[in-house]
């Protein structure tokens, strides 16, 4: 197993290298440059040239790339033009925000999605199945940013149950309950679509398992129906549910961008959008490489978890 994990980690290196090349090229090729973005109305060719020199952007591209790469390998991601602080500080701080938000949404969608899927499958075409299917389809069909805005309007502006935006209050202690009041709406809005997807796919995975012989055997030898569903069937179905959860983890991470913008959540997605609009090259590059590394790592973790669950997957 250790050898398998090591092999997977080593195979991630060329992937990450490719990502650095691609993100660097994209930022170099898109029109508009940081100097123009900073100078705005005053971006005369003369001013732009001087500022590019001051920012170190007048060197040949290949040279810029290798300076960036060698600094990054040594842990120096550079300084953001637009925020005037080290890229790594900003990325880590923002990633923490995204982890809290996406992590909560992921837990919500995993627990509620799987439970709803199992209940649906166990009562196929019954009342519970129809009710759950209806709610799930409704959830899948609402864009998360729209749901977020409606929640703000209703729960924050009209009822004033929750704060509108941000992760922490301006004044007061930073305790867990305070965080939860800020987290409740964005995490819910983010989890809704993913919960629907998990519920649908858990349902079909369960139905497939429930048709198999060993379930009939279990029932025949008198296992309680509850035990059949939650112990025998769900365990077998988890093998196909886990990869779905892995995909949903990626989905909540990327879906977090909209939610972060709507709820002004200090996360990495909103940071990247702002950075791209401001042509904050180093922040975009550093942020993308960091997020990509996390994705790669997460995928490895999902594969490992799957091979632990299903011995047929060769390690």
Partner 1 sequence: MSLFHVPRRLNRHVTRRAVLGAGTALALTLSLTMGIAGDAQAQTPPGVLIVGQIAEPKALDPAAVTAVNDFRILMNVYDGLVRYKDGTLEVEPALATAWEISEDGTEYTFNLREGVTFHDGTPFNAEAVKFNFERMLNEDHPYHNTGPFPLAFFFSSVDSVEVVDDLTVKFTLNAPYAPFLSNLAYPTGLIVSPAAVEQYGAEFGRNPSGTGPFKFAEWRSNEAVVIEANPDYWDGAPELQAVVFRPITDANTRTAEMLAGGIDLMVEVPPVALSEFQSDAYQVYEQAGPHVWFLILNTKEGPFADVRVRQAANYAVNKEALVNEVLEGTADVAAGPTPPAFAWAYNDELSPYPYDPEKAKSLLAEAGAEGAELTFYVTEGGSGMLDPIAMGTAIQADLEAVGFDVKIETYEWNTFLGEVNPGLEGKADMAEMAWMTNDPDTLPFLALRTEAWPEAGGFNSGYYSNPKVDELLEAARVATDQGERAALYKEMQAIVQEDAPWVFVANWKQNAVTSDKVEGFALQPSFFLLLDDVVKN
Name the helix (H) or strand (E) containing 276: helix 268-277
Cβ contact 25:288 at 8 Å: no
182 counts as binding partner 1 under rule CB under 8 A? yes
Q: Identify the three-state secondary structure at position 170.
A: coil
37 counts as binding partner 1 under rule CB under 8 A? yes
Backbone angles phi, psi at 233, to 5 degrees: -70, -45
Window 103-132: contact mask with partner 1 (x via CB under 8 A): -----x--xx--x-----------------
Using CA atoms, how far apart are residues 263 and 248, in angstroms rounded to an integer? Answer: 21
Q: Identify the three-state secondary structure at position 79.
A: strand
Q: Identify the three-state secondary structure at position 67.
A: helix
Alpha-carbon dihedral sign for residues 91, 93, 96, 102: negative
Candidate ranges 83-91, 127-135, 194-202, 285-293; the one touching partner 1 (CB under 8 A)? 83-91
Which of 1, 36, 183 minimizes the C-alpha distance to 106?
183
Using CA atoms, how far apart are residues 199 and 134, in angstroms rounded to an integer? Answer: 11
41 counts as binding partner 1 under rule CB under 8 A? yes
Window 138-177: contact mask with partner 1 (x via CB under 8 A): -----------x--xx--xx--xxxxxxxxxxxxx----x
Task: Give 182 or 200: the residue with its C-beta nearer to partner 1.
Answer: 182
Binding positions for partner 1, 224-243, rule CB under 8 A: 226, 230-231, 234-235, 238
Task: Give 127 or 170: the residue with its C-beta nearer to partner 1.
Answer: 170
* Least distance (Å) between residue 151 CB and partner 1: 10
Task: Give 23 or 35: the residue with its C-beta nearer to partner 1.
Answer: 35
Among 262, 282, 288, 292, binds partner 1 (CB under 8 A): 262
CB count, 10 Å around CB of 111? Answer: 13
Task: Give 32 or 126: the residue with its C-beta nearer to partner 1.
Answer: 32
Binding positions for partner 1, 5-34, rule CB under 8 A: 30-33
């Amino acid at each position: 197993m250790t050898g398998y994990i090591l092999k997977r980690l080593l195979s991630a290196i060329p992937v990450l290298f490719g990502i650095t090349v691609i993100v660097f090229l994209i930022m170099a090729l898109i029109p508009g440059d940081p100097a123009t973005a900073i100078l705005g109305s005053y971006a005369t060719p003369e001013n732009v040239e001087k500022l590019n020199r001051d920012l170190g952007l007048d060197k040949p591209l290949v040279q810029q790339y290798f300076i960036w790469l060698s600094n990054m390998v040594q842990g120096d991601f550079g300084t953001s033009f637009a925020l005037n602080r080290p890229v790594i500080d900003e990325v880590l701080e923002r990633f923490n925000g995204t982890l809290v938000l996406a992590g909560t949404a992921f837990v919500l969608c995993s627990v509620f999605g799987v439970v709803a899927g199992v209940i649906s499958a166990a009562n196929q075409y019954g009342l519970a199945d129809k009710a759950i299917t209806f709610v799930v389809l409704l959830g899948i069909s609402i864009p998360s940013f729209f749901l977020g805005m409606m929640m703000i309007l209703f729960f924050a502006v009209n009822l004033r149950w929750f704060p509108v935006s941000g992760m922490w209050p301006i004044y007061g202690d930073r305790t867990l309950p305070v965080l939860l009041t800020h987290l409740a709406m964005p995490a819910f809005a983010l989890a809704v679509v993913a919960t629907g997807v998990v519920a649908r796919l858990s349902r079909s995975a369960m139905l497939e398992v429930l048709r198999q012989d060993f379930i009939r055997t279990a029932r025949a030898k008198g296992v309680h129906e509850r035990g059949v569903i939650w112990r025998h069937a769900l365990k077998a179905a988890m093998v196909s549910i886990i990869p779905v959860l892995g995909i949903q983890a990626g989905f909540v991470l990327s879906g977090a961008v909209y939610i972060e913008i709507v709820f002004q959540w200090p996360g990495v997605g909103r940071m990247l959008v702002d950075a791209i609009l401001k042509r904050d090259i180093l922040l975009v590059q550093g942020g993308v490489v960091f997020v990509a590394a996390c994705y790669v790592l997460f995928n490895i973790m999902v594969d490992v978890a799957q091979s632990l669950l299903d011995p047929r997957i060769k390690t």
